[in-house]
Amino acid sequence: MEFNQITLEMGDGWTLLTINRPTVMNALNQETLREIEQALDQVEAQKKTGALILAGAGEKAFVAGADISELRQLQSASDAERLASWGQRLFSRLEEMPIPVIMAVNGYALGGGFELALSGDILLASERAQFGLPEIHLGVMPGYGGTQRLVRLVGKNTAKYYAMTGERMDADTALQLGIVQKVVPSADLLQEAKGLAAQLTAQAPIALRYIKQTINQGIETDLRTGLQLEASSFGLLFHTQDRMEGMNAFLEKRKPSFRGE
């Protein structure tokens, strides 16, 4: 499929989706959202993708938010609400994908760009990365999940601080807050992301999927229900060939070879 706003590249154990609008800091317009949806359709249909990496084209930005020239033209509250709901559905789809999603944040991740990054499972940032929710400076607020996902990571008042001030945080602050899992030199970012994707691809895929699902669902519920979910997922994994392979390989002192069965 031909894309105008993104590129999609597949390698050994990874698929790289790059938002490619560098002249506007990779801002997300509606066509970009549509193309990301189509790319996810392709990735899901293709089934053998180990992990998905999202990145932004160029040197300066991951994604600097929703496209403000498009936002300015929205005519009504219901148009704005529809757009927010659409982006939220798309980002939730990323969050719930059955494979790991790695965000490779190479520069500005602002507004919708920060919200996109927050829907990933693992965030790698370059030393130049900057995160923020500057919507308040536009007289609006986050609409692609920022008020909901950031608070779950950093707590109520820290989330309010960043959403209410619009202040940016650098990569090290994001690391300290637990938003980012690793900060690397800019030149190494994509290699690092591909290496991590390949590392995850070598793990047992069904176990990976259950870990992701159990953590995602567990954080939305109480501890008792979360623990039940965990026990039930743990039990289900005992039907898999991969758990026999993993345990046999350990006892036979060899590397496991997982097949996702």
Which candidate in 95, 96, 115, 167 is catalytic?
115
The CB-nearest residue to ligand HXC is 111
CA contacts within 13 A on the Cβ side of 146: 30
The phi, psi pair for 194, rounded to 5°, reads -65, -40
Whole-number minimum distance, CB 241 to ligand HXC, in Å?
A: 43
Whichever of 65 and 205 has its CB closer to ligand HXC, that residue is 65
Q: Are 126 and 58 in contact (CB under 8 A)?
A: no
* Sheet of strand 182-184: strand arrangement: 6-10, 14-19, 51-56, 101-105, 122-126, 182-184
What is the C-alpha to C-alpha distance for residues 212 and 225, in angstroms, rounded to an integer? 16
- 135 among known catalytic residues: yes
Minimum distance between the CB of residue 243 and ligand HXC, rounded to whole angstroms?
42
Check 9, 31, 35, 135 and give the catalytic one: 135
Nearest approach, Cβ of residue 233 and ligand HXC (Å): 33
- Please say whether the beta carbons of 62 and 108 come within 8 A: yes
Chain residues in the site for ligand HXC (CB under 6 A): 24-25, 27, 61, 64-69, 83-84, 87, 108, 110-112, 134-135, 138, 143-144
Cα 115 to chain centroid, rounded = 9
- Choose between 129 and 204: whose C-beta lies nearer to ligand HXC: 129
**Which DSSP letter does residue 28 get?**
B
In the bound complex, what is the minimum distance in angstroms from residue 65's beta carbon to ligand HXC?
A: 3
Output 159 or 197, the one with its CB closest to ligand HXC.
159
DSSP tally for the chain: helices H, then strands E? 11, 10
Catalytic residues: 115, 135
